[in-house]
Structure 1
């Protein structure tokens, strides 16, 4: 291979890799063991965004690990080719901030997660996302819920889809000018949540006003020191 072509190829690979940034999407929703949350979303035009799941649980029996197989895009279409039939999008991890909980995300794909700084029932997607495929660093998303492997219908969902109500007035250091989150986002669907690539994005299921966006470094600084003691608690 011509040395100049080789150098150009290497530069292209490095540049593309730099477009991927760690991005966390957190949806707070109380659930029961038969329920599971997935993430769907895309850019301003509704196109999918390339992603990779950062957490790869050690246990092969992990439900999250199985559902993550073949998942390479954040899109609106649900299961991708290569994902198991039980997948309805990008799977999230059920997490808690209880360090003594008997499950841990790095082993089980659910349970204690150090960036959960609030409480239990935080469903988290810890992703490498291609920020170059977003709308100036922003993307749209919403949750999708299943029960016993099928889309669930409840008062604030339609065949599994989260219904976002109340507009979107968020807080956080990464919002443009600290103003109403909808200001300057006329391109986006008002019934979706909005996220910032490379950041920590928190919303409450179905609530368009209870949300915030911060840098991941800021959120990590709030996490308490990890304890080495682990108790065998009963999963709630």
Structure 2
């Protein structure tokens, strides 16, 4: 094996959170949540900290439960200003708040990975094609590094509402998911269980779930 090949093989082991473009898959999270005007919704998540060691560091690049990802652009009009500001510098789905260097919006720090309020109303500036459900579906669109999730693409996710005085979403008890992919998560969790490479639909504080494949 030549020196260049050796470098990349060693890098895969020494830098476990280095993004590999060929391993990322588009992954969408929807959470139905009727918020107050002053509220914004974020998610935190990754691997279950109760099942994995090395997840207690505040330095996200060394956190074994963090999943490398990049959020995708959903719009450029005013409605998306907060989402676009907070997603800057957000490189991992993790259980912490803002990452070092992650963007802020009018002085308010990110509280995780941001979502944006969407609707299925095609006349609204908040319309998103993947939202076929109605109003109040908060959405994030990501390119996620699927090799870092659980077997069959599962990972944990939980809502976090800003301002921080609102905080964590209540625990849920998820069972089998409906949808064109659906399925049962590999372990019990008080969080939503989503699948990498799919469209995941949840309700804030609710245990029901739908997991669909992207349409061609």
- TM-score, with structure 1 as normaliser: 0.71
The within-5 A match list for 1:63-78 is: 63-78=82-97
TM-superposed CA distance for 1:138, in Å, is 1.0
In the other structure, the counterpart of 2:179 is: 172
In the other structure, the counterpart of 1:80 is: 99
Structure of larger gyration radius: 1
Conservation of the 8 A alpha-carbon contact between 2:173 and 2:191 = no
TM-superposed CA distance for 1:64, in Å, is 1.1
In the other structure, the counterpart of 1:225 is: none
Q: Is residue 2:37 matched to residue 1:33?
A: yes
Return the alpha-carbon distance in structure 2 between the equivalents of residues 81 and 205 of structure 1.
Answer: 27
- TM-score, with structure 2 as normaliser: 0.77
Query: Which ranges of structure 1 fall in alignment gaps of 5 or more residues?
Result: 104-110, 154-159, 222-236
In the other structure, the counterpart of 1:151 is: 164
Among 98, 120, 135, the alignment partner of 1:97 is 120
TM-superposed CA distance for 1:170, in Å, is 1.7
More deviation, 115-124/30-39? 30-39
The within-5 A match list for 1:139-218 is: 139-146=155-162, 150-153=163-166, 160-176=167-183, 181-182=184-185, 185-186=186-187, 188=188, 190-208=189-207, 210-217=208-215
Aligned residue-pair number? 189
Return the alpha-carbon distance in structure 1 between the equivalents of residues 81 and 21 of structure 2.
Answer: 28
What's the C-alpha RMSD, in Å, of the aligned pairs?
2.7
In the other structure, the counterpart of 1:113 is: 128
